[in-house]
Amino acid sequence: MLTLGPDDILLGRHADSWQTALDSAAEALVEAGLVEAEYRDGLHAREAQSSTFLGNAIAIPHGTPESRQFVKQTGVRVLQFPQGVKWHDGQLVHVLVTIAAQNDEHLDILRQLTHVLDREGVSEQLANASSAADVARLLSKTVVEPRLDADTLCVNFPARDPQELALAAAARLRQSGCVDNSFITAIASAQPTWLGKGLWLASSSQGVNQPALGVATPAEQALQSDGHSVHALFCLATQGDAHRPLLEQLMALLDTGASDTLLKSSSAQLLAQLAGETASTQTRRVRVLNPHGLHARPAKQLVQVARAQSIAINVRLEEGSATPVSAASLTKVIGLGARRGQWLVLSAEGEQASSSLEAVAEAVESGLGEKVTPFDGGFGSTQEASTSTPAVEPLAADTPHTGVAASPGLAIAPVFVIRPMQFEYAEHASDAEHEIKRLDSALKEGAAQLHTLVHNAPGGEVADILSMHEEMLDDPELHHAATDAIREGRSAEAGWWDAIETAAHAQEMLADRLLAERAADLRDVGRRVLGVLCDVTLPEPPDHPYILVMDDIGPSDVARLDTSRVRGLLTVRGGATAHSAILARALGIPAVVGAGQAVMALNNASMMILDGDRGRVTTQPSEERLQRAEQQLLDQQQREADAWESRFEIAQTRDGHRVEVAANLGNTAHAADAVERGAEGVGLLRTEFLFMAYASAPDLATQIGEYRQAIEALEGRPLVARTLDVGGDKPLPYWPVPQEDNPFLGLRGIRLALTQPEVLETQLRALLMASKDSPLRIMLPMVKDIAEFRAVKVIYDRLLQEIPTSQRATDVQLGVMIEIPSSALLAPSLAAEVDFFSVGTNDLTQYTLAIDRGHPELSAQADGLHPAVLRLIQMTVAAAHTQGKWVGVCGELASDAVAIPVLVGLGVDELSVSARQIPLVKARLREFDFADAQASAQLALSQATSDEVRDALETR
């Protein structure tokens, strides 16, 4: 917003000529400390290009782009000339709004001034104003612009009724800053109204910062509520009568009667329909190429071309807003605030529509009087690293560089750096049918490639992701969007990529981080097809072992990897939750992600040591460091082979202290594999992953079937099943959680489960009925104190009464996870009532150290060996053992070779780790005596930081 203080406004100026007026404006900027004196020449140079007169006696002098180097700070100085100054284009100017802008901020200032241009009599008022406050008031009148744009849409939301759609749309408005939480509360407490024709409305004026219209469409096509179909829900944030234009758009949509077309519409299509574009409306998309967007000069040209046509032409921002404006109105066109790279949608109706739209589009494409270059931004950031990547310092030789540890293990090999692919293609093509044929055959080729990859995929998760890619490729919506664009004159490549970008963008807007990450999958699929269309193939990797370095590794890149040659993965971007990291772990390839741009500057074939446990890489290591690492690697390989040989031995320390070693699973089908790897049970079944595999909550019979699969594979070994842990970093699409400022501190885990006790009850019942004779341990996630445990215990006890003993588990225990510091601090009160504890060190560390476990930069510091976390574990074990209860650890720390003796020394009874790690953890236990472990624990507890703990343990 243009906020002007009294110091920004200089009244009662006089100038004999426009040049002297400009000079005094320049001086005012210098005096205010906003610019260097040289900026004056930039103001004159800009004026020499064309007049900055805006209208209503206002001119907005600003420097040329070259003169921005003289701007010290962005700001504005307003000079009032009561007698007026004759400007060089013949206009009379009373006010100079002189801008010092480092970037394109002047576009925003311009936008905010457009309201002044529409008002009659303003020039006289500005000329006669006798106080700075009056001028400020005239210029900075707050214009409340109602909001309806891509950010307020939520398409294909997996809702079960209009109420859930209303909450999703309200959450989107909250995210866009239009409303606050009280709006969501108001929407949650009222039932949406049926408007007719499949349309529903929810509205409130509570907590509204800006009037806005949120729109949510359901994923399910045949959704019904109260006997009416549900095609779209409108969530209106009302404010005075400022939301009226939105209401009018809504009414217009109701009048057209075609609401079922809203279903399955992409964001762009939805905006088009809300903009009133019907079958009889002709449209033409055109991209703004001007380096500084549609500022006054190019906007004027556009308006002139539009006015020269015989019919009315409207224009809107494709992604920005669903409100079209007249292309013949300068203020309205400037008000769009269109920037370089954004798409405009020109629309018109009638016989001349096509030729008129073409004329305006051509003018835009040719730069509206400015020199323009083609837009490469669709790919700019990823496809042209060599030109768009800022210069970065290369990694120093023989010096460890830290990233995020994503998959454990040590790798030593030369690097192979894959730079982002470049695709070159024409944006437009005239023969749409030919382009569609090209696209279709590229899609077929892409599908065939994926099919082969799925077939050859090394592991379940890899195959799952590639199959998901196959489905994405088959999505009729993507195909429609692409062919529609091609029929509008886009080439096969451009049409396809537009469709991919639109869909990926919509995905990114989802509140859930994990769902949003699927945008990377969409782009990955998109690039595969683009590669076929542009005949671009990936560079051939070397035929010797190497460490692969990429900007970010897409799932299909991982699947393509020849695991016999790829020793390690290193990426610029990505966090530990990215798909590439998950896949690297599944394939057992050591990986470090999020290591920053510097790694792209590595020379191919330079030697590297990659430590996936510590998240460190060292390039060009010294001979000594290399030898040490090679020895370490040999030792590690030998250890792995020995560990595999003895994986079925009982898990215990060298002197026979028993510590159970169990597996962490997210899929009951993997229980047999865990047993084959030596698991003595399942120590953590993450049942939310099992729920995620279904489109809606699995019913009792389905759940019994799932749990039984694991129980049977375990052949009498215990199963520790965790009840649903949804929320935070684990979204469940059909259990939407309202947008929260801080979901990790919000409605998640057991808190969320208790909001729908019937779901929890079905799960408990299914677990109890699936087990019968096998040992069953049920644990509750994210418990903060005994009250939550008791709330579940009531249901659990009732079920034990209700289900006949012959039909349910008898060897059953109910425990809690210790992953919130409060529960560790209160362990004595919990231990008195629960049957066992399992420490979730991932969350316990996150909450104790206040570091988001998925944070791309900080998560490396979230080390569970921090003495603060260890003290909490110590308290937990002491409290449990006093009451004769057992304690497991099921977070990642349980498989950390350095941490294992410490955990055992603290008295932990069970370690639950990923199945791959089981043989190694068992082998690690055999390397020390219990007394050593106790000494390690004491040593660790006496340190002050996690680094000190690790150093002390390493030198012990």
Pairing of the two strands 153-157 and 212-218: parallel
Single out the residue of 575, 558, 566, 570 nearest to residue 463, CA to CA.
558
Per rule CB under 6 A, is residue 686 in the interface with ligand PEP? Answer: yes
DSSP 668-725: GGGHHHHHHTT-SSEEEEEHHHHHHTSSS---HHHHHHHHHHHHHHHTT--EEEE---
Whether 401 is catalytic is no
Single out the residue of 564, 572, 583 nearest to residue 521, CA to CA.
583
In the complex with ligand PEP, the residue whose CB is nearer, 726 or 767, is 726
Interface of this chain with Mg ion, residues 890 to 929, rule: CB under 5 A? none
**Tell me, what amino acid is at 398?**
D
Whether 115 is catalytic is no
**Smallest gap from residue 843 Cβ to ligand PEP (A):** 3
Interface of this chain with ligand PEP, residues 723 to 752, rule: CB under 6 A? 725
Which range binds ligand PEP by CB under 6 A, 142-150, 416-424, 792-800, 834-842? 834-842
255 Cβ contact partners less than 8 Å away, ≥ 6 residues apart: none
**Smallest gap from residue 554 Cβ to ligand PEP (A):** 24
The total of other beta-carbon atoms located within 10 Å of residue 246's CB is 23
In the complex with ligand PEP, the residue whose CB is nearer, 493 or 843, is 843
3-state SS assignment for residue 251: helix
In terms of Cβ atoms closer than 10 Å to its own Cβ (0-12, 13-18, 19+), residue 37 is exposed
Residue 559 and residue 219: Cα distance in Å, rounded? 29
Q: Edge to edge, what strands does the sheet with 401-402 contain?
A: 401-402, 616-619, 607-611, 410-417, 546-550, 566-571, 591-593, 404-407
**Smallest gap from residue 614 Cβ to ligand PEP (A):** 19
Which one of 106, 243, 292, 579 is the catalytic residue?
579
**Smallest gap from residue 586 Cβ to ligand PEP (A):** 16
- The torsion of the CA quartet 619, 622, 624, 630, rounded to 10 degrees, works out to 30
Interface of this chain with ligand PEP, residues 752 to 791, rule: CB under 6 A? none
Residue length of the chain: 956
Which one of 154, 178, 235, 890 is the catalytic residue?
890
Per rule CB under 5 A, is residue 843 in the interface with Mg ion? Answer: yes
Q: What is the largest CA-CA distance in the chain?
A: 103
Pairing of the two strands 591-593 and 404-407: antiparallel
Interface of this chain with ligand PEP, residues 851 to 910, rule: CB under 6 A? 890-891
**Smallest gap from residue 214 Cβ to Mg ion (A):** 32
Contacted by 555, from ligand PEP, Mg ion, none: CB < 5 to 8 Å by type: none
Distances (CA, A) of 457 to 470, 555, 565, 674, 894: 13, 11, 16, 20, 29
Q: For every residue of 447-506, which 3-state class applies, written as one string? A: HHHHHHHHHHCCCHHHHHHHHHHHHHHCCHHHHHHHHHHHHCCECHHHHHHHHHHHHHHH
Residue 759 and residue 668: Cα distance in Å, rounded? 19
Residue nearest to ligand PEP (CB): 840
Whether 579 is catalytic is yes
In the complex with ligand PEP, the residue whose CB is nearer, 163 or 841, is 841
**Smallest gap from residue 916 Cβ to ligand PEP (A):** 16
Which one of 94, 231, 295, 670 is the catalytic residue?
295
Interface of this chain with ligand PEP, residues 463 to 502, rule: CB under 6 A? none
Which range binds Mg ion by CB under 5 A, 555-563, 647-655, 772-780, 836-844? 836-844
**Smallest gap from residue 848 Cβ to ligand PEP (A):** 12
Whether 62 is catalytic is yes
Question: Per-residue string for binding with ligand PEP, 364-403, x by CB under 6 A?
Answer: ----------------------------------------
Which one of 62, 231, 243, 292 is the catalytic residue?
62
Which range binds ligand PEP by CB under 6 A, 162-170, 294-302, 319-327, 840-848? 840-848
In terms of Cβ atoms closer than 10 Å to its own Cβ (0-12, 13-18, 19+), residue 427 is middle
In the complex with ligand PEP, the residue whose CB is nearer, 600 or 665, is 665
| Count of residues that bind ligand PEP according to CB under 6 A | 10
Which range binds Mg ion by CB under 5 A, 87-95, 463-471, 476-484, 833-841? 833-841
Positive or negative, the CA dihedral 522, 523, 524, 526 is positive
In the complex with ligand PEP, the residue whose CB is nearer, 353 or 890, is 890
| Near Mg ion by CB under 5 A: residue from 293, 681, 840, 888 | 840
In the complex with ligand PEP, the residue whose CB is nearer, 501 or 725, is 725
| Near ligand PEP by CB under 6 A: residue from 266, 269, 329, 841 | 841
Contacted by 890, from ligand PEP, Mg ion, none: CB < 5 to 8 Å by type: ligand PEP
In the complex with Mg ion, the residue whose CB is nearer, 192 or 840, is 840
**Smallest gap from residue 840 Cβ to Mg ion (A):** 4
The first and second tokens of residue 346, run together, are 């020109």
| Near ligand PEP by CB under 6 A: residue from 162, 495, 621, 840 | 840
Per rule CB under 5 A, is residue 688 in the interface with Mg ion? Answer: no
Question: Which H or E element spans position 156?
Answer: strand 153-157
| Near Mg ion by CB under 5 A: residue from 8, 524, 740, 819 | 819
Which contacts of 251-258 are long-range, i.e. CB under 8 A and separated by 24 or more positions?
252/276, 253/199, 254/195, 254/196, 254/197, 254/199, 257/197
3-state SS assignment for residue 404: strand
| Count of residues that bind Mg ion according to CB under 5 A | 3
**Smallest gap from residue 848 Cβ to Mg ion (A):** 13
**Smallest gap from residue 837 Cβ to ligand PEP (A):** 12
434 Cβ contact partners less than 8 Å away, ≥ 6 residues apart: none
Contacted by 282, from ligand PEP, Mg ion, none: CB < 5 to 8 Å by type: none
Question: Per-residue string for binding with Mg ion, 761-800, x by CB under 5 A?
Answer: ----------------------------------------
In the complex with ligand PEP, the residue whose CB is nearer, 507 or 845, is 845
- The torsion of the CA quartet 827, 828, 833, 835, rounded to 10 degrees, works out to 60
User: Radius of gyration (Cα) for the chain, nearest Å?
Assistant: 32
In the complex with ligand PEP, the residue whose CB is nearer, 435 or 819, is 819
Contacted by 8, from Mg ion, ligand PEP, none: CB < 5 to 8 Å by type: none
**Tell me, what amino acid is at 78?**
V
- The torsion of the CA quartet 494, 495, 499, 501, rounded to 10 degrees, works out to 10
Residue 869 and residue 845: Cα distance in Å, rounded? 6
In terms of Cβ atoms closer than 10 Å to its own Cβ (0-12, 13-18, 19+), residue 723 is buried
Distances (CA, A) of 59 to 54, 93, 840: 5, 7, 63
In the complex with ligand PEP, the residue whose CB is nearer, 237 or 890, is 890
880 Cβ contact partners less than 8 Å away, ≥ 6 residues apart: 827, 831, 836, 837, 886, 887
Return the residue matching tokens 């016989």.
351
| Near ligand PEP by CB under 6 A: residue from 47, 517, 843, 910 | 843
Phi, psi at residue 221, to the nearest 5°? -70, -35
Which range binds ligand PEP by CB under 6 A, 142-150, 381-389, 409-417, 836-844? 836-844
| Near ligand PEP by CB under 6 A: residue from 819, 863, 909, 910 | 819
The total of other beta-carbon atoms located within 10 Å of residue 1's CB is 9
**Smallest gap from residue 838 Cβ to ligand PEP (A):** 8
**Smallest gap from residue 898 Cβ to ligand PEP (A):** 17
In the complex with ligand PEP, the residue whose CB is nearer, 112 or 842, is 842
| Near ligand PEP by CB under 6 A: residue from 739, 842, 876, 914 | 842
- Applying CB under 6 A, the residues found at the interface with ligand PEP are 684, 686, 725, 819, 840-843, 890-891
- Applying CB under 5 A, the residues found at the interface with Mg ion are 819, 840, 843
Q: Which residues are catalytic?
A: 62, 295, 579, 890
